[in-house]
Structure 1
Amino acid sequence: MSVIAIAGEVDKTNSAQLADYVDRVRRPGDHVIFDLSELSFLDSSGLHVLLACARTCTGDGSNAHLCAARGAPARLLHITGVDGRLPTYVTVEHAIAAVLATRTS
């Protein structure tokens, strides 16, 4: 399992850096938990990074999880329906507990 905390703004000027980081950190079969509690802005390029990770995870039997989104990023996730397609949690702790529960079942 990998927990990736994203802070500040993610837009076209830095989304490639986030994508590169996700690719470096994530191992095949890893669930990825995105902690969005400190994320203040997310545009479509940042959303693309989250969805690309989710697609990769699904391809190898794991999931990408979103947690603690609020403000503008939470609105974008809701408007686009992403919060209904990916597992979403109020806190990182809830996401970790959900991942661990899948490992024991």
Structure 2
Amino acid sequence: MAPLTLTHQHLPGMSVIALAGEVDRTNSAQLADYVARIRRPGDHVIFDLAELSFLDSSGLHVLLACARTCADEGAAAHLAAAKGAPARLLRITGVDARLPTYVTTEHAIATVLATRTS
């Protein structure tokens, strides 16, 4: 299993969280803790999935929990740059139709910035 690596950056009105490696039941709590620690209340969260090679239902649960929290605060969780197995899981579960999904992280960031200024 590829270890999970998490990084983030704060931009105006959003937190961008990059996931690399694999998320499964052995480390999904690590992801949940990280999201809770760095997410700013009321901010959008963009999950950059470009370097994520595996995602299971426990990781999906973390993404959806974050989406609920964001929605409660008038923001949203966004998914960006998913490919391979994670993209397939998002597609077959319908999560990619439920959450805003973008081909690139840059597009997600630009969209959130545009909605904040309009």
TM-score category by the smaller chain? over 0.9
Matched, 1:49 2:49: no
Runs of at least 5 residues in structure 1 that lack an aligned partner in the other structure: none
* CA–CA distance in structure 1, aligned partners of residues 67 and 58 of structure 2: 14
Cα offset for 1:40?
0.3
Counterpart-to-counterpart distance in 1, 2:16 and 2:32: 14
* 1:83 match: 96
Partner of 1:14: 27
**Correspondence list, 1:86-101, <5 A:** 86-101=99-114
Matched, 1:58 2:79: no
Q: Distance in 1 between matches of 2:70 and 2:64?
A: 10
CA distance in 2, matches of 1:54, 1:18: 14
Q: Distance in 2 between matches of 1:68 and 1:14?
A: 21
Instruction: Give the counterpart letter for 1:24 in structure 2.
Output: R
Alpha-carbon separation, structure 2, partners of 1:29 and 1:55: 12
Residue-pair matches, total: 105
TM-score, normalization: structure 1? 0.99
| CA apart distance, 1:81 | 0.2
Percent identity for Structure 1 against Structure 2: 85
| Counterpart residue number, 2:80 | 67
Extract unaligned runs of 5+ from structure 2: 1-13
After the TM superposition, which parts of structure 1 deviate over 3 Å for at least 4 consecutive aligned residues? none
User: Greater relative contact order: 1 or 2 (C-alpha under 8 angstroms, separation 6 or more)?
Assistant: 1
Deviations 1:23-43 (A, max 9, x none): 000011010000000000000
Task: Find 1:25's aligned residue among 16, 30, 38.
Answer: 38
2:59 aligned counterpart, secondary structure: helix
Distance in 2 separating the partners of 1:4 and 1:27: 12
How far does residue 51 in structure 1 lie from its aligned partner after superposition? 0.2
In structure 1, the partner of 2:116 is 103
Residue 92 of structure 2 aligns with an amino acid whose one-letter code is: I
